[in-house]
Chains A and B, each alone.
Chain A
Amino acid sequence: MVLSGPKKEIPATAVRSITCPGCGGSVTIRSFGKAVNVVCGSCHSVLDAQDPQVKILQKFKDAIRHDPLLPLGSRGKIRGVVYETIGFQHRQIEADGQIYGWGEYLLFNPYQGFRYMTEFDGHWNFVAPLRSLPQAQAPGTESDRYYLNERYKHFQTAVAKTTFVLGEFPWQVRVGETVEVTDYVCPPRVLSAEVSADKEINWSLGEYMTGADVWKAFGLKDAPPAAAGVYENQPSPFGGQPRKTWKYCFILLALATAVWIYNAGMADNKQVFTESYVFDPAASEAAFVTSTFNLDGPDANVKIETMAAIDNKWIYLNYALVNEESGTAYDFGREVSYYHGYDDGESWSEGSSRDSVTLPKIPSGKYFLRIEPEGDSKLGRINYSVTVIHDVPNSLWFLIAAPLILVPAIFSTWRSISFEHRRWQESDHATSSSSSASSSDGDDSDDDS
């Protein structure tokens, strides 16, 4: 992730300490006079930072404590600005009977003010409050929002509850307080609207960051927690690849078609030999050789066609295409069989009275065929004909190449669609069958955005 922005160095922070009236522990305040509430790091009581008597506003009662991944007091450089982590709160929502919790870090820079860093399942967002309101298609609804000419699709609306707080905050913070949170996504950004109990709306804009980016920015050791599943505004690793891949796919298919047509058009496709024969299985010697024929021009393939007058019969032909001058032989065998009948109320047939085979790249020269037919002596004489065609167009390689070109494009599109499906499975717009099944594991079941 490339982060940019004005570069300002954070000045030496004037740190103030107060004593927690609950436990007597020392509590550090880093945001000058901007802290409204501060939370004791020892007993987790919420204190009034603006009261000289440091009154306790709320005592921590829950057994569950959440350790911040970014230590309070740690500094990180984001978009060229150094921020200090001064507060942390853990919040959660309930959806489909499951609890989803995330961490929110309050960052402070004396020139830039407050920013936020959120973390859910290893997915991070750098969040800044909005200075102008997003536009809605239909005000007062959950319809998509528009901000700086970008469309943000409604993702989820839920009630978020604060379950743990630590550090200092420029607002009144309490464990147990709730706000209605609505997220609109346009990866890698997310618009969030928080509506408090007194209907005050706070808009913010988040931009996705990987754990590695955050760890690098804050100079943290070890490795960040691995990201699980697909997050609501996580940029797709496939991006615009399917569109570009399909563009290339059509170009490649057009090129393959042109090559195929060109080669087919250049083929001589010349019949150089044809003759009819009768095979008598009762004869003592069936093998014979044909008259010679010429294969002129450059080396090319040769197609041998066999047509046999067979009806519920078969004939097998041992062929050898022999170069009369060099003595080189090309051996191959072909069976021609055709059967048909009527069984159990339905007619059937298999095989064909016609067969063809294409021999690869035969050198030019004078050739003849040595033919040795075989057959069942009970089936009687069989009439058949043999035709030789030189340099025939062959579509086989085009039929192999076309799927080889198409498959990666289809696979690329499928992966991109699958990624988006996994994203929207976690939204309010997931199909009911998949949303409950995949709410925690982020699998690839079918739903639609």
Chain B
Amino acid sequence: MMTPKLYLAYGLAVIGMMGYAQYAGWSMARVNAAKVVPRSIRDNPGSYRSVYSPYQHYTGGK
């Protein structure tokens, strides 16, 4: 059973997390970060292999 004081503490923790997530720019986007790519990517963009290349495409429609 959550007492009102415990609920208040819980709510403040939720708001703290929300505020920090918003401030820090957290996102639920699926991103593969911090991969160091070769500088030659500018000259040969096709040489870079994205981790999302083998994506199984949805072709849509009923």
Contact yes or no, A376 B62, CB < 8 A: no
CB distance from A8 to the nearest CB of B (A): 38
Contact yes or no, A320 B18, CB < 8 A: no
One of B10, B26, B37 near A329 (C-beta < 8 A):
B37
State A256–B1 Cα separation when bound (angstroms): 24
List A residues 251-267 near B (Cβ within 8 Å). Answer: 252, 255-256, 259-260, 263-264
Contact yes or no, B18 A360, CB < 8 A: no
List A residues 62-112 near B (Cβ within 8 Å). Answer: none
List B residues 40-55 near A (Cβ within 8 Å). Answer: 41-42, 45-46, 48, 50-53, 55
CB distance from B52 to the nearest CB of A (A): 3
CB distance from B36 to the nearest CB of A (A): 5
List A residues 28-52 near B (Cβ within 8 Å). Answer: none
Tell whether A183 is near chain B: CB-to-CB under 8 Å.
no
List B residues 18-35 near A (Cβ within 8 Å). Answer: 18-19, 21-35
Contact yes or no, B26 A331, CB < 8 A: no
State A350–B59 Cα separation when bound (angstroms): 12
One of A320, A327, A398, A400 near B50 (C-beta < 8 A):
A320
Contact yes or no, B25 A299, CB < 8 A: yes
Which residues from chain B contact A328 at a C-beta distance below 8 Å?
Answer: 33-37
State A331–B52 Cα separation when bound (angstroms): 7
- Would A248 and B4 be within 8 Å (CB), given that A263-B19, A335-B57, A341-B61 are in contact? yes
Contact yes or no, B10 A333, CB < 8 A: no
Contact yes or no, A360 B52, CB < 8 A: no
- Would A248 and B11 be within 8 Å (CB), given that A332-B32, A335-B58 are in contact? yes
Tell whether A171 is near chain B: CB-to-CB under 8 Å.
no
Which residues from chain B contact A326 at a C-beta distance below 8 Å?
Answer: 36
Stretch at the interface among A140-148, A155-163, A201-209, A403-411: A403-411
List A residues 382-427 near B (Cβ within 8 Å). Answer: 391, 394, 396-398, 400-401, 404-405, 408-409, 411-412, 415
One of A259, A341, A415 near B15 (C-beta < 8 A):
A259
Contact yes or no, B48 A320, CB < 8 A: yes
Chain B residues within 8 Å of A, Cβ to Cβ: 1-4, 7-8, 10-12, 14-15, 17-19, 21-39, 41-42, 45-46, 48, 50-53, 55, 57-62
* Cβ-closest 8 pairs across A and B: A333-B52, A301-B25, A252-B11, A401-B18, A360-B27, A318-B50, A287-B45, A244-B4
Q: Could you give 16 example pairs across A and B, Cβ below 8 Å?
A: A238-B1, A248-B4, A248-B7, A248-B8, A256-B15, A260-B22, A264-B22, A289-B45, A300-B25, A314-B57, A320-B48, A327-B37, A328-B36, A328-B37, A335-B55, A339-B60
Q: Given known contacts A256-B14, A328-B34, A404-B14, what 15 new A-B pairs fall within 8 Å (CB)?
A: A249-B7, A259-B18, A263-B19, A287-B46, A301-B25, A301-B27, A316-B57, A328-B35, A360-B24, A372-B50, A401-B18, A405-B11, A408-B7, A411-B2, A415-B1
